[in-house]
């Protein structure tokens, strides 16, 4: 016996005005399942609940469930070939006193002759071959269409007193589940927000984030990890690495490494799409979102499941992205806090260094005498400086002039300047050094400092002058020795300035360095002899206006005009020139002026 097919169609769906060729009522229940027969009982139970809520007579419900089973089984076996990576879509609804079931699969449908005239198998004991016959025998209408996109069929049966159910049974369950999920997400966001405020540190904050990410996923993920990018500061990375589910980028699987490198998300719903990833290919569904803040990728959140029944929903992905973004803000704040702590610590160190310089490096007043005039001037570009100058008496009461320049700037240079000052004072207090040539004193200072400075690969330039006055004649002998420092200028009432060049390398470089001493006669008001010594550091002449250097020659020329009689006018003119010609002066400026009277 063959049922007479009623309204059976083939080919493309009729045009009903919708984008897909048919209209689905708003009360339609739709579900998408993997092409796996084990998924059938769960979705059939949902359909059975819909039948009861729709008022389908009790005697028809078993036949509807049988029809549902046959049609869905055909779609899984023949349409999707039981490939678990493929999916079929099921929809059911009630409208206009008609109950409808629609099934879409990726196949091409049954042969045309069988679809239009289904029949029972010749062998009554055959285990298959009855599905189309059962469908056609029970339903009033069996519509079906095939296209390159797949095969779709709609089964319809009229019930005169059938009413369209309000969202109840399975539909109501779905609404309640959606509401429960939304509540869980809101709760998770609230808990994470509270953690942002009250967390004791990045580690506790990250643990809270991982916990809340897991809570907004149903079912719970089998794999949840956070991988940290190299942009995370070492202080934070070391703390976060103690968390159980946190790993550094060195341990990232290829999929995660690509996310960290490209800052692009990755979502997969079948393990074949990440078949080359040895750590993640066991998980059929997963996603990896970059943690981004302030334009930097700070890490990656990876969530995966082995046997998830369906793909991640847009709501789940949106919630995960939101929590990931919040985590990015939290990690960026942790990074910023480390920077702030470092800056605060550096500022405190700078304050300490400035105090040290004020107490240790501030030169004492120069020795006064009716026979000489000494001017000391210094300006630092930072709170602390590496330049140092001093005029003091040695163990025999002889006047010693000193100017140094430490390589580098700021705190480290100030510390080395303080070290030099300590050694310099110790050596001047030794009576035997007052009898030695000044070059020998430089050699002693170099031996003492090289052992301290050699591991630091830094050095100190130094110029020394020792003035011995002859009270009988009113003249003086100036001994000058220089360790890599800029020349010492000897200025006279007439003629060009004499330049005493360095007599050896900077201090702190070579243990066996030797230094010689240059001597010259100083006399007041005598054009044949200089009466002024000028010692400076390179910050007084090594600056430019953006195109040309002012340079040493200009300094010497200006010194010949002003420095002998008015060192302050000379100093102020240098400062004004440097300020006017350059927007950023990058070195300390130091001047020591001695004039015999």
Q: State mean pLDDT over 74-84.
A: 89
Q: What is the DSSP string of 124-191?
A: TT-SSS-HHHHHHHH-SEEEEEEETTEEEEEEEEE-TT--PPPS-HHHHHHHHHHHHHHHHHHHHHHH
Residue 239's pLDDT is what? 75
Three-class SS of residue 263?
Answer: coil
Condensed to tens digits (0 to 9), the pLDDT of residues 118-132 reads: 766 655 544 456 778
Residue 215's pLDDT is what? 64
Residue spans per domain, the chain: 29-166, 179-337, 363-596
Note the helical H segments in 510-566.
551-562
| Confidence label for 176 from pLDDT (cuts 50, 70 and 90) | very low
User: What's domain 363-596's architecture?
Assistant: 4-Layer Sandwich (3.60)
Q: State mean pLDDT over 220-233.
A: 85
Alpha-carbon distance of 314 to 320, in angstroms, equals 10
User: Helices 202-215 and 169-198: crossing angle, nearest 10°?
Assistant: 180
Alpha-carbon distance of 405 to 486, in angstroms, equals 10
- CA distances to 376, 438, 548 from 372, in Å: 13, 20, 37
Asked if 480 and 488 count as a contact pair (C-beta separation under 8 A), the reply is yes
Among 90-94, 116-120, 517-521, the range scoring the smallest mean pLDDT is 116-120
Domain 179-337 fold is Beta-Lactamase (3.30.450)
Q: State mean pLDDT over 349-357.
A: 65
Asked if 384 and 413 count as a contact pair (C-beta separation under 8 A), the reply is yes
Condensed to tens digits (0 to 9), the pLDDT of residues 261-294 reads: 998 888 887 656 677 788 888 888 888 999 888 7
Asked if 212 and 188 count as a contact pair (C-beta separation under 8 A), the reply is yes
Residue 39 pLDDT greater than 80, yes or no? yes
Alpha-carbon distance of 36 to 47, in angstroms, equals 17
Residue 186 pLDDT greater than 70, yes or no? no
Q: State mean pLDDT over 397-415.
A: 84
Of 23 and 144, the structure prediction assigns the larger pLDDT to 144
What is the percent of the chain with per-residue pLDDT over 90, rounded to a whole number? 26
Q: State mean pLDDT over 499-525.
A: 92
Angle at 422 between CA 500 and CA 372, to 5 degrees: 45
Of 549 and 509, the structure prediction assigns the larger pLDDT to 509
Q: State mean pLDDT over 68-82.
A: 91
User: In the chain, helix, strand, coil percent, each to 5?
Assistant: 40, 25, 35
Options 3.40.50.300, 3.30.565.10, 3.40.50.10420, 3.10.180.10; which CATH number does 29-166 get? Answer: 3.30.565.10
Asked if 484 and 503 count as a contact pair (C-beta separation under 8 A), the reply is no
CB contact set of 56 (below 8 Å; sequence gap of 6+): 64, 99, 159, 162
pTM over 0.75: no
**pLDDT mean across residues, the chain:** 80
């Amino acid at each position: 016996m063959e049922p007479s097919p009623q309204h059976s169609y083939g080919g493309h769906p009729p045009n009903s005005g919708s984008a897909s060729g048919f209209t689905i009522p708003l009360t339609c229940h739709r579900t998408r399942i993997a092409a796996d027969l084990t998924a059938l009982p769960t979705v059939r139970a949902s359909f059975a609940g819909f039948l009861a809520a729709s008022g389908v007579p009790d005697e028809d419900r078993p036949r509807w469930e049988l029809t549902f089973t046959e049609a869905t089984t055909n779609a899984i076996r023949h349409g999707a070939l039981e490939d678990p990576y493929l999916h079929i879509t099921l929809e059911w609804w009630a409208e206009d006193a008609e109950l409808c079931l629609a099934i879409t699969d990726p196949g091409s449908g049954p042969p045309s002759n069988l679809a239009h005239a289904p029949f029972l198998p010749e062998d009554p004991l055959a285990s298959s071959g009855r599905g189309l016959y059962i469908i056609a025998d029970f339903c009033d209408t069996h519509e079906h269409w095939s296209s390159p996109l797949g095969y779709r069929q709609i089964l319809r049966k009229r019930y005169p007193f059938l009413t369209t159910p309000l969202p109840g049974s399975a539909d109501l369950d779905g609404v309640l589940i959606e509401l429960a999920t939304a509540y869980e997400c809101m709760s998770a966001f609230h808990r994470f927000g509270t953690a942002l405020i009250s967390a004791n540190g990045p580690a506790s904050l990250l643990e809270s984030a991982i916990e809340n990410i897991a809570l907004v996923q149903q079912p719970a993920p089998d794999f949840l990890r956070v991988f940290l990018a190299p942009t995370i500061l070492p202080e934070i990375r070391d703390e976060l690495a103690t968390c159980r589910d946190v790993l550094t980028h060195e341990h990232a699987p290829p999929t995660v490494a690509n996310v960290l490198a490209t800052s692009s998300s990755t979502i997969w719903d079948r393990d074949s799409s990440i078949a080359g990833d040895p750590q993640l290919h066991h998980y059929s569904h997963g996603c990896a979102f970059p943690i981004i803040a302030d334009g930097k990728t700070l890490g990656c959140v990876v969530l995966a499941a082995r046997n998830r029944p369906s793909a991640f929903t847009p709501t789940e992905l949106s919630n995960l992205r939101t929590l990931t973004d919040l985590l990015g803000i939290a990690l960026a704040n942790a990074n910023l806090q480390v920077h702030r702590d470092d800056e605060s610590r550096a500022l405190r160190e700078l304050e300490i260094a400035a105090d040290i310089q004020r107490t240790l490096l501030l030169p004492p007043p120069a020795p006064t005498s009716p026979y000489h005039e000494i001017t000391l001037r210094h300006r630092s570009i930072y709170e602390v400086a590496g330049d140092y100058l001093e005029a003091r008496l040695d163990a025999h009461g002889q006047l010693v002039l000193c100017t140094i320049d430490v390589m580098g700037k700021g705190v480290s240079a100030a510390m080395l300047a303080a070290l030099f000052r300590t050694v310099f004072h110790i050596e001047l207090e030794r009576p035997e050094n007052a009898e030695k040539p000044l070059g020998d004193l430089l050699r002693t200072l170099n031996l003492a400092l090289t052992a301290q400075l050699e591991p630091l690969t830094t050095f100190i330039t130094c110029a020394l002058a020792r003035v011995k006055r002859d009270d009988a004649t009113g003249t003086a002998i100036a001994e000058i020795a220089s360790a890599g420092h800029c020349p010492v200028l000897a200025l006279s009432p007439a003629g060009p300035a004499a330049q005493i060049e360095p007599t050896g390398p900077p201090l702190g470089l070579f243990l066996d360095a030797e230094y010689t001493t240059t001597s010259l006669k100083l006399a007041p008001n005598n054009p044949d002899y200089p009466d002024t010594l000028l010692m400076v550091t390179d910050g007084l002449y090594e600056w430019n206006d953006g195109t040309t250097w002012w340079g040493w020659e200009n300094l010497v020329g200006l010194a010949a005009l002003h420095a002998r009689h008015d060192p302050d006018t000379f100093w102020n003119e240098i400062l004004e020139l440097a300020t006017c010609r350059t927007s950023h002066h990058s070195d300390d400026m130091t001047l020591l002026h001695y004039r015999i009277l």
